[in-house]
Amino acid sequence: MILFHSLLAYDYPLIPKAVGAKTHCFFGAPEVMDERNNGNMVNSCFVNMGTSYLVIDSGPTYLYALTAYKKMKEIENLPISFVINTHTHDDHWLGNSYYDSIDVKIIGSNAFKNMFKEEKTRMQKRITAEAFKKTTQIFPSIYVKEKMTLTINNRKVLIKSINKKAHTQSDLLIYIPKYATVFAGDLVFNDRLPSIRDGNIFNWLEALDEIREMKVEYVVGGHGVQVDSNSIDMTYNYLHELKTRVSSSLEEGIEIGDVVESVVMNKYKNVNFYKDIHRQNVAIVYQMLEWGE
């Protein structure tokens, strides 16, 4: 028997996990996107607002989003009021193409306005065509400039743009006071080392300070399964130590090449991606400090 592989749709192995009484998240693997995980390396969450779901990040593909919503309907069959994209990295929003096909309104940072559709996104280049099937680049249609408040079934959802480059130029915080929950997107990683490539370490730490001062029970990041109020610690402590150590090396007049060699942070060497991105992070922070960015 011949299997026409391209006719079969990839089936994402998605299992919803409860975060408190009102939220379920699909937690991605602590990996980079590839042909094995097909982009299932990012978090996507559904908040039960009583009469609808609010979706935080739509995931990496059309099929992923379709499967996630199907699983959620098995728990409670509710429509979706809105999808919110935490930032512009494609693993967090390519699932918009599914939600758009069922007429759900999508909210995202003003920064999406300046984005153009790429010939092929990073996701499309790295995962199988089968998993990427039906995925198109759909940007949000409602933009958050600074702040926005949604009231869904008498429950407030406060959306705040960080408004300066932190993890990216487009980070949103989504805070639901009634559920004591904040969604922080990729400002919070807790199962892999954060990359500073598209960000700014000073503003990132400032944004984390802001989250730290919020009186919440749950802080849900864009990657990683830890969701208690300490879930920001790994990212915070790493960035803080990195900034401190690179700046004292710079003050001592050590050259960038030597700083990259000497700022070894053994505490984090078993964290995923340390080997791949730590040295790059050191170099980026050195250059930022040197230029006073």
- Which residues 200-229 are close enough to bind Zn ion by CB under 5 A? none
> For Zn ion, which residue of 22, 89, 192, 278 counts as binding (CB under 5 A)?
89
Min. distance of Cβ 20 from Zn ion in angstroms?
A: 24
Min. distance of Cβ 222 from Zn ion in angstroms?
A: 6
Q: Which stretch binds Zn ion (CB under 5 A): 32-40, 85-93, 106-114, 205-213?
A: 85-93
Give whichever of 112 and 179 is closer to Zn ion, judged by the CB atom.
112
Q: CA 157 to CA 161: how far, in whole Å?
A: 13
**86 in Cβ contact with 222 (< 8 Å):** yes
Give whichever of 89 and 243 is closer to Zn ion, judged by the CB atom.
89
Q: Which stretch binds Zn ion (CB under 5 A): 135-143, 148-156, 185-193, 269-277?
A: 185-193
Q: CA 145 to CA 108: how far, in whole Å?
A: 9
Beta strands 172-176; 155-161: pairing state: antiparallel
Q: CA 44 to CA 288: how far, in whole Å?
A: 32
**192 forms part of the interface with Zn ion (CB under 5 A):** no
Q: How far is CA 47 from the centre of its chain?
A: 16
Write down the residue that tokens 């705040």 correspond to: 160
Give whichever of 53 and 93 is closer to Zn ion, judged by the CB atom.
93
Which one, of 89, 69, 94, lies nearest residue 81 by Cα?
69
Min. distance of Cβ 166 from Zn ion in angstroms?
A: 11
**100 forms part of the interface with Zn ion (CB under 5 A):** no
**191 forms part of the interface with Zn ion (CB under 5 A):** no
Query: Would the CA dihedral through 124, 130, 132, 134 be positive or negative?
Result: positive
Min. distance of Cβ 171 from Zn ion in angstroms?
A: 9
Min. distance of Cβ 126 from Zn ion in angstroms?
A: 15
**186 forms part of the interface with Zn ion (CB under 5 A):** yes
Give all strands of the β-sheet with 218-223 in edge-to-edge order. Answer: 147-152, 155-161, 172-176, 181-189, 218-223
Give whichever of 22 and 89 is closer to Zn ion, judged by the CB atom.
89
List residues near Zn ion by CB under 5 A. Answer: 89, 186
